Amino acid sequence: MSIETMYRLLYSIVKPVFSLFHPVRAIGRENIPEGALVLCANHTALTDPLFVCFAAGLRYQIRPMAKIELSRVPLIGWLLGKAGVIYVDRGHADVKAVKSALACLKGEGKLLIFPEGTRVHEGEDVAAKGGAALFATRTGSPILPIYVTRKKPWFRPTTVVFGQPFHPQIAGRKATAEELDQITHTVMDQIHQLGEGLE
C-alpha cells in the first residue's frame, strides 16, 4: 500500500472520531500553495500534527516530522510510518531523516516541522532549531507559518491559522549558519503574530 493510500485511509478513519472530541477551525487554508512546502507550526500538544493535517484538509497530504520514540509505540508507530510520518532521532545526526525530508520536498510534497523541536508550555522559552530553514533553502521551497491555539478544550473548536507562504532569501548557493538562524527567527515571529488575539 502506498503512502498516499495509507494517509487517506487513516485520515478517513481518524478525523471523524477525533472531530467529535476536538473539532478543528481552520483560518487561511486558502494560503496553502500547491507543490513543495515546509509547514512550520508552534508546538504545545501531542495532537498538534493532527490539528494541522485536519485543518489543511485531505486535498493536501502532509508528512510530519516526529520524534523516533513515537515509532516504537505498538501498531500506531507502524501505521504512522506507513502514512508518511518521518521519524527523527533527535539525539544524533539523523542522516536518514534528513534525506527523507529533502526527498519529500523534491517530490513536491508538504513537510510539517515544529521548529521548537519539542512541546513548549506556556511561559517556557525554547530556542527554535534551523531544520525548517535548511530544508527550505536546500530545495527552494516556500515556508508557511502556522499557529495552533494553545488551549484545546474538549468539544469546542481548536483554531489553526495558516499564514502567508514566503521564500527565504539567501546570498549564495547554500545558506550560512547566520542566515538559517535569521530565517528561523523570522518564521517563529510570524507564527506568534498569527496567534495574537486568539487566546
- pLDDT tens digit at each of 199 positions of the chain: 899 999 999 999 999 999 999 999 999 999 999 999 999 999 999 999 999 999 999 999 999 999 999 999 999 999 999 999 999 987 777 899 999 999 999 999 999 999 987 666 665 556 678 899 999 999 999 999 999 999 999 999 999 999 999 999 999 899 999 999 999 999 999 999 999 988 7
- 116 occurs within a structural domain: yes
- 158 occurs within a structural domain: yes
Largest CA distance in the chain: 49
Q: How many domains does the structure of the chain reveal?
A: 1
- 101 occurs within a structural domain: yes
SS3 state of residue 196: coil
* The model scores a pTM over 0.95: no
Tell me the C-alpha distance between 105 and 107, whole Å: 5
Q: How far is CA 138 from the centre of its chain?
A: 17
DSSP code, position 128: P
SS3 state of residue 182: helix
Cβ(121)–Cβ(44) below 8 Å: yes
Query: What range defines the domain where residue 121 resides?
Result: 30-63+91-194
